[in-house]
Amino acid sequence: MASFSPKRIMLPAPDKTMAPSADRATNGAAPMFPEPLHVGRPNIGDREQFLRLAGEMFDRRWLSNNGPLVQEFERRVSDYLGVKHCVAMCNGTIALEIAIRALGMTGEVIVPSYTFIATAHALHWQGITPVFADIDPSTHNLDPHAVRQMITSRTTGIIGVHLWGRPAPVEALQEIADEHGLTLLFDAAHAFCCSHGRRMIGNFGRAEVLSFHATKFFNSLEGGAVVTNEDELAETLRLMRNFGFAGLDNVIHPGTNGKMVEVCAAMGLTNFDFIDTVVEANRRNHEAYRLALNGIADVRLLQYEPSGRNNFQYVVLEVTEGGVQRRDAILAALHTENVLARKYFWPGCHRMKPYRELFPNAGVLLPQTQFVADRVIVLPTGTTLPAHAAEKIAQVVRGGAEAAIELPSISARASAVSASVCIRSWWARPRDRASRSASLG
């Protein structure tokens, strides 16, 4: 392990407070933060180490096709998680699609609606029907009782999601899968470096899918992986990510191009030596938010289980009273102050295309999903969060919450100002643009 300890990038946090209403950006004042604070701003390790690995890659002229950096990256992930096999992929969505196909899922597969849209799309894209089951509002993960209600004669599998890096109810879902002869796969896109008790996420179900997208706390620029303890499944996954090739000119299985390239593995290897630094920054930020938000009426910070490891990459706020209108008023106030908080994963997959047309009545069986989706705000964190930003952001949350009660029209007013202040930065990021388009779609 390298001894490199990168400096935390600190953006200036101005002395502006939210006490007088005239000091709010909704009333024409300058934003609290001069630079936008994003959710999921990339954490970047030792640039010199990355450039050295990239230089070695160029010297070898081996840029793709299971190069030495990808092989080393797979070994590092396997060792870190204590799992037998890591099959690196070009991104998490392709990894999920290949895992679904390799596991032979067909017909109907039960998934949460409260997740990133890729979980549902990975099924629909392959002609499989995603059947949405409700969540436990206290954890935001699948409710096993709701999963049981959705099983039919066409059900072949369950995809559990470790939302926010908090473990899904793995034992209960495994019991259901065993009882009904279903395949259990986990979408662990949020959960690298997390554990369920003492066992690392990556060791549950028949396989788990990871994402190393740039917005994740640990990134490989772009990338993903399927991890599994099954030898035969791992071999199938390796064939499928490389067009089914088993040696030169020998295709023995249907496949596609899902390979991770060497430069992405170089970034992943670089960031492996940065994991502890990022997790500690996230943990400190989460604790700062907890203290700063304490005492704000009708606002609750989602906590992480102390019994296991977590990456703390999501700061999840629930607006417990006032519904979507109050949530959106707080969100708009944050945006005007250059805090580009997000309302993940609103409005729920079942209320996005094509599923809202395919299953127009799905919401009847998803009351908790809709309840949570209308109340969540995700706040910025990571190594680039300015010092004392959590305290200042909490001031904005408090001001937005109080203004929403005092002046019902604040949401519309703040939204208009937010558009003029933040829209260019908001739409500049491709993932934000795609997610926002899906939400508006």
CB 69 within 8 A of CB 262: yes
Name the DSSP class of 344. T
Whole-angstrom CA distances from 319 to 204, 225, 300, 341, 371 are 32, 34, 6, 14, 10
pTM, to two decimals: 0.87
Residue 289 placed within a domain: yes
- In order along its 441 residues, the chain shows pLDDT tens digits of 443 344 444 444 555 555 545 566 666 789 999 999 999 999 999 999 999 999 999 999 999 999 999 999 999 999 999 999 999 999 999 999 999 999 999 999 999 999 999 999 999 999 999 999 999 999 999 999 999 999 999 999 999 999 999 999 999 999 999 999 999 999 999 999 999 999 999 999 999 999 999 999 999 999 999 999 999 999 999 999 999 999 999 999 999 999 999 999 999 999 999 999 999 999 999 999 999 999 999 999 999 988 899 999 999 999 999 989 999 999 999 999 999 999 999 999 999 999 999 999 999 999 999 999 999 999 999 999 999 999 999 999 999 988 876 544 444 444 444 443 333 333 233 333 333 333 333
Two tokens, residue 165: 């890096």
Name the DSSP class of 136. -
Is the domain of 143 the same as that of 184?
Answer: yes
C-alpha span between 243 and 258 (Å, rounded): 8
Q: Which domain holds residue 412?
A: 21-33+275-440
Is the domain of 327 the same as that of 423?
Answer: yes
Q: How many domains does the chain have?
A: 2
Whole-angstrom CA distances from 87 to 50, 103, 274, 393 are 22, 14, 22, 40
Domain end among 240, 272, 304: 272
What is the crossing angle of helices 323-336 and 410-428, to 10°?
60
Is the domain of 266 the same as that of 355?
Answer: no
Name the DSSP class of 383. T
**CATH number for position 412:** 3.90.1150.10
**CATH number for position 113:** 3.40.640.10
> What is the DSSP secondary-structure string of 388-441?
THHHHHHHHHHHHHHHHHH-TTHHHHHHHHHHHHHHHHHHHSHHHHHHHHHHH-
Nearest to 84 by CA among 194, 186, 203: 203
Is the domain of 358 the same as that of 336?
Answer: yes
Domain end among 236, 257, 272: 272
